[in-house]
Structures are given as C-alpha cells and as structure tokens.
Chains A and B, each alone.
Chain A
Amino acid sequence: MKNNKNVLVYVEQRHGAIENVSIELLGIGKTLADKLNGDLYACIIGNDIENQSNEIGYFGAKKVYVVDNPILENYINESYTKSLTKVINVTKPEVVLVGATALGRDLAPRVSSRLHTGLTADCTSLDIDLETNNLLMTRPAFGGNLMATIVCPDHRPQMSTVRPGVMIKPTRDTSKTFEVIKVDASLTKADMNVEILETVKEAKKLIKIEDATVLISAGRGIGSKEKMEDIYKLADILTGEVSGSRAVVDMGWIDKDRQVGQTGKTVRPDLYLACGISGAIQHVSGMEDSNLVISINRNPQAAIFEVSDVGIVGDVNKIIPELIKELQK
C-alpha cells in the first residue's frame, strides 16, 4: 500500500453519541499529523450518523469520512471491519488510531489482520520518530510493571488502540472548515454474520471517573462497606467522584466502573485522594499521572506513599471524619 502522510482517527459512536476517547484521539492525531506534515482525517461508521460529522470537524479533522448504512445500526464486527477497511483503502493513511474500548479492541484486531499490518494495543503514549518517521507506540505490559515502545516499520498503516482518558481533548472550534465525504462500503445483508437479538443499555447512572477532576478513592483499608458513606460524603464536599481499587470492587463495596488501575480505568484528576489503598503496581499504573496525590494508609511502608505528594500514616476511618469537619468549617 502506497501511503501518504495522513493520520486517520476512527470515531466511535454508540447510540448516536460520540465517545470521549475519540475526541481525545483527534487531539493526538492532529499532533502526529503535524509532525508528519500530513493531515488529520476521521472516519465515523453507523446508521443515520451523518449529523455527527460537523462535530468531528470542529475538533480538528480536515476530512470526515462517513459510512452510513442501516446495516450498521448495531455494532457487528464484520460489517464495521468491512467499513473501516474500506475507508483505510480509500484514504491510505500512514497511521490509524482507534479507542481502546470494548468495541475498538474487537474491531481494530480484525481490521489489522485483514490489512496484514501491525496493531499495538492500549497505547498510553504516541510519538513520531523524527529519523524514520515511524510511529512510536508506548504501552504498559506485565500488569503495568513494564513499558514497551513498539514500532511497525515495514507495514502500513501503523495501527494502534489508545487507552481512554490518557490523551488531552482538543478545543472545539466551530469556525473550522472541513470536508465531509460519504463512502460506500458495498455492504450487504451477508455482512451481518451474527444476529443481534437485543441491545441493552444499563439503566444505572453512568459514572465516568475518567472525567472527574477530584477522585476520592477507597481501598481495602476502609474496612467495610458501611465506611464508604464517609467517602461519598467527602466526594460530595469536594464535588468529586468516588473510585476504588480492585480489592474494593471484588468485595462489592463499589461498582466495577469505578475501578482504577490496570484492569480498571486510567485516571488523572487534579486531586487523587487514596484512602486505605496499599498501592499495588496494577493500581498505581492507573492513577500515577494524577496532578496531586494525597494518600492515607495505616502502614508506613505502603507502596502508595512512593507515588504520593503527601502521605498520611494513620487510620483512614478517623482521619476522613476529621477532614470532613475541617472542610465544613
């Protein structure tokens, strides 16, 4: 494939709404395109989604490729793979970025296989090697113990999925000009190779701890589910959200979608207040880029203190009520 210098971002939409990670990718995508002296392109796939293309343009895509077809109403990996592959074949980008979501991590592997090119999963940092113009894709491995920088020197496009919450959102600018291009991916009913019987959106309030600027995060040291009440109260006072470690999720004290860490979410709030969290590497890899980390732990040797700006040795269940009192003064 003879490729140009452009970057293509796959913009994921669910039920007609663009995922945050896709906006983040438009930001890093533009940075990479500038370094390559190329342009930022975007691609959106779905049914009746053309009205989304303006939004994508406002966030910096110079050309927005739209595959709009009733067959694409629900995500099916074959029909979406065919569509994204078609757009890549039309645009011949140097780099393709996909959000590392439950959808993107299924779609991107099939597309990369179909194109016989490399794919690097869950990247947390992307850059261009100025000597070779290769994409440098950095990602955690071994449960966050190791960082690896991966390259794809001889195959194009260079593809990567990127962790949500890691890249910075670009500013929205409605004065930007861009071009919207419809793509016919020659889809047929046969591309719906599985039958979607039901799509259920969970009714519970969607908590996005990635978007919170203040996180009060609970660990095993809290001691019991009842003690979570103080954590919620503190989060309320500081207009933040409640998150937690894997241990707390496993014990059922908080929901899985509030979990921070390697198997949870990557967060970087202005304040991360770790309450009774020991600081296993799997947890730390999900929060270490937080601006200010304050942690409370009974154990003076707790690993969390190594990544904290302020560490408090003590009983979290005594300190939190005092802190609530102090803040309510």
Chain B
Amino acid sequence: MKIIVCVKQVPDTSEVRIDQKTGTMIREGVKSIINPDDLSGLEAALRIKDKNNAEVIALSMGPKQADNALRECLAMGVDRAILLSDRAFAGADTWVTSLVLSKAVELLSPDLVICGRQAIDGDTAQVGPQIAEHLNLPSVAYVSDIKLESNESLVVKRMFEDGYQSIRVKTPCLLTVLKEINEARYMRVSRIYNAYKADLVELWDNSTLGFDPLVLGLKGSPTKVKKSYTKGVKTAGKVFDVPPKEAARIIADKLKENYIL
C-alpha cells in the first residue's frame, strides 16, 4: 500500500502575540512546526505501515525552508519526503495549493492520501477536500479513526458536532484527520542523524509538474487578500483589587445595572 501524507510547515500560532502598543503581530522568534493535524496524519500512516508494510511519502508545498519539516517526517519514519517548491507557487490560495498538490499526488498514484483537517495558520480545512475534487477521489473529512479492512477498503469514523458516522471507503481515496486521532510518535535519534545527513528531501519544481504558470500562484488564485489587520485592542474597563465580599457585591451590582438579574 502506498500512502501520501500532506504536511504543512506552519508558524506556532500559539506563540504569536500582539504588540499591545502598536497593535501589530509579533512574529519574530516564533518557531516553525509541522501542523498538528498533519502530524497526526503522519502518525496514522506510520501505524498502518507498522502493521501492513506500506510505503509512506510525506508531501509538502512551500518555500525551501519547509525542507526542515520534511526532515522531521523522515526522522519519524516516512520512506520518502517530497517538497514542491517554485516561485511560481507563491501566493497560492487553497484552490491553487490543492491543484499543485493534486498533480504531485497523481504522479505518485497512491492508494491512500491523508491530510490534516486544517492548518493552524489558515484554519480553512479546504485543501484536503479540494485535492480529492481535483483528482475525482472519494473523500471523508473529520476522521478520528482508521481501520484497514484490506488494501482496497478502509472503515473510518467521521465526526460531526452531534455524533459520528462509521463509513466504508474504497481505495484510492483521501481522508482528512483530526488531531484527536492519535498521539504522534517522537523522531528517532538515529533517524534524525540520517535525515539531516543525507540530501534526502526530493525537490520538485514546476518543471516536474508542468503547469502553465498563469494558473499558479497569486495570478491563478480565485481569492485574494484585500487587506489584513489586527483587531484593535478593546478598551479595558475598570479593574478592582478588593476582598472577596466586596468583589461579589461589585459583580452583583453590575449584573443588576445590565438587567441580568
């Protein structure tokens, strides 16, 4: 079985802070990580490999620095790591991103594609289903459990807000997985050494994928960012440092004042 896991290198958004004076985002010193949902996707693929002798390929689109994330994937145990990187890809929205990734998937013709449900920088959850659509593959999103029935068939648990579905899906297919599906393994020390030693990350640019540059990047993207801004700091109200009894009275008065009592 051949499995592709799509991974994205993202800034650790939980470390991003807003400068309260200027209202701008502080990005310096924020480290890059493998997107958490994708990390769980990797783990899910590696667990299938542990039991069933699968080939696992980590696939990413991004700038050259994203090579780091792919080396981490190698250190976790994937067999191949491929980075799609080309200036022509820059500025892609989810439509173009999914188009580029789907071309690479098509060239690799896997049995199973696993994507994280969404990335923590964009939070769109769109790229997975859109890859499936470009390739006309059946897809299941929001997956929290994968069971292999055979090389041709999987049973997955698809989560909703108010319950779940158990779904049988035939390969080839695409799944988007939730972080809750598993706890990702650590990199192995010996593998880290090898991953960094050798020039193992395969670099594919647009000459491999063969797109007309006009359909790529910012030009090819249906959506454009018109403007971005940080939300203005809401003016703080009054802060009281008083004994509990008095604090309780202040709160109760405020509730009365606002007709909540």
Give chain A residues whose Cβ lies under 8 Å from the Cβ of B35: none
Give chain A residues whose Cβ lies under 8 Å from the Cβ of B213: none
Interface string of A147-174 (1 = CB under 8 A from B): 1111111110000000000000000000
A309 to B260, CA, bound (A): 15
Interface string of B150-191 (1 = CB under 8 A from A): 000001000111111111111001001000000000000000
Give chain B residues whose Cβ lies under 8 Å from the Cβ of A197: 155, 165-168
A142 to B129, CA, bound (A): 21
Number of interface residues of B (CB under 8 A): 80
Give chain B residues whose Cβ lies under 8 Å from the Cβ of A321: 244
> For the complex, is A141 an interface residue (Cβ under 8 Å from B)?
yes
> For the complex, is B249 an interface residue (Cβ under 8 Å from A)?
yes
> For the complex, is A305 an interface residue (Cβ under 8 Å from B)?
yes
Decide if A309 touches B237 in the complex (CB within 8 Å): yes
A257 to B162, CA, bound (A): 9
Decide if B225 touches A106 in the complex (CB within 8 Å): no
> For the complex, is A238 an interface residue (Cβ under 8 Å from B)?
yes
Give chain A residues whose Cβ lies under 8 Å from the Cβ of B255: 238, 271, 327
Stretch of A2-10, A37-45, A89-97, A111-119 that contacts chain B: A111-119
Give chain B residues whose Cβ lies under 8 Å from the Cβ of A74: 165
Give chain B residues whose Cβ lies under 8 Å from the Cβ of A308: 236-237, 239
CB-CB under 8 A for A195 and B167, given A146-B229, A313-B241: yes
Stretch of A23-31, A52-60, A200-208, A222-230 that contacts chain B: A200-208
Q: How far is the CB of B105 from chain A (nearest CB, A)?
A: 14
CB-CB under 8 A for A102 and B142, given A14-B160, A143-B13: yes
Q: Which of A270-286 contact B (CB under 8 A)?
A: 270-271, 273, 280-282, 285
Decide if A327 touches B252 in the complex (CB within 8 Å): yes
> For the complex, is B107 an interface residue (Cβ under 8 Å from A)?
no
> For the complex, is A193 an interface residue (Cβ under 8 Å from B)?
yes
Q: Is the interface of B mostly helix, strand, loop or mixed?
A: mixed
Decide if B25 touches A110 in the complex (CB within 8 Å): no
Query: Quick one: which of B95, B123, B133, B238 contacts A310, CB cutoff 8 A?
Result: B238
Decide if B169 touches A113 in the complex (CB within 8 Å): no
> For the complex, is A109 an interface residue (Cβ under 8 Å from B)?
yes
> For the complex, is A307 an interface residue (Cβ under 8 Å from B)?
yes
Query: Quick one: which of B133, B160, B261 contacts A102, CB cutoff 8 A?
Result: B160
Query: Quick one: which of A102, A270, A305 contacts B236, CB cutoff 8 A?
Result: A305
Give chain A residues whose Cβ lies under 8 Å from the Cβ of B258: 270-271, 291-292
Query: Quick one: which of B25, B247, B261 contacts A146, CB cutoff 8 A?
Result: B25
Choose among A109, A118, A325 the residue with the greatest number of B CB atoms under 10 Å from its CB.
Answer: A109
A282 to B161, CA, bound (A): 20
> For the complex, is B198 an interface residue (Cβ under 8 Å from A)?
no
> For the complex, is B126 an interface residue (Cβ under 8 Å from A)?
yes
A81 to B250, CA, bound (A): 54
> For the complex, is B197 an interface residue (Cβ under 8 Å from A)?
no
Query: Quick one: which of B161, B168, B176, B244 contacts A194, CB cutoff 8 A?
Result: B168
> For the complex, is B74 an interface residue (Cβ under 8 Å from A)?
no
Decide if B225 touches A149 in the complex (CB within 8 Å): yes
Decide if B138 touches A194 in the complex (CB within 8 Å): yes
Give chain B residues whose Cβ lies under 8 Å from the Cβ of A311: 236-240
Q: Which of B227-246 contact A (CB under 8 A)?
A: 227-231, 233-234, 236-245
Decide if A102 touches B238 in the complex (CB within 8 Å): no
Give chain B residues whose Cβ lies under 8 Å from the Cβ of A81: 133
Q: Is the interface of A mostly helix, strand, loop or mixed?
A: mixed
Decide if A78 touches B250 in the complex (CB within 8 Å): no
> For the complex, is B22 an interface residue (Cβ under 8 Å from A)?
no
> For the complex, is B108 an interface residue (Cβ under 8 Å from A)?
no
> For the complex, is B122 an interface residue (Cβ under 8 Å from A)?
yes
Q: How far is the CB of A165 from chain B (nearest CB, A)?
A: 12
Decide if A214 touches B169 in the complex (CB within 8 Å): no
A195 to B158, CA, bound (A): 12
Q: How far is the CB of B235 from chain A (nearest CB, A)?
A: 9
Interface string of B61-104 (1 = CB under 8 A from A): 00000000000000000000000000000000111001000000
Decide if A14 touches B162 in the complex (CB within 8 Å): yes
Give chain A residues whose Cβ lies under 8 Å from the Cβ of B225: 148-150
Give chain B residues whose Cβ lies under 8 Å from the Cβ of A280: 14
A sample of 22 inter-chain contacts (CB < 8 A) reads A14-B160, A102-B141, A105-B126, A109-B129, A109-B133, A110-B133, A113-B134, A117-B222, A143-B123, A145-B25, A146-B25, A146-B228, A147-B231, A148-B225, A195-B169, A281-B16, A293-B237, A305-B236, A311-B240, A314-B241, A326-B249, A327-B261
Known contacts A116-B95, A313-B239, A313-B240; 19 additional CB pairs below 8 A are A103-B160, A112-B130, A118-B93, A118-B223, A145-B25, A147-B229, A150-B224, A197-B155, A200-B163, A200-B166, A214-B260, A257-B161, A271-B258, A281-B17, A285-B231, A310-B240, A313-B241, A314-B242, A314-B244
Residues in chain A within 8 A of chain B (CB atoms): 14, 74-75, 77-78, 81, 101-103, 105-106, 108-110, 112-114, 116-122, 136, 140-143, 145-155, 193-202, 206, 214, 238, 257, 262, 270-271, 273, 280-282, 285, 288, 291-294, 296, 300, 305-315, 318-319, 321-323, 325-327
Residues in chain B within 8 A of chain A (CB atoms): 11, 13-14, 16-18, 20, 25, 93-95, 98, 120-130, 132-134, 138-142, 155, 159-170, 173, 176, 221-231, 233-234, 236-245, 247-252, 254-255, 258, 260-261
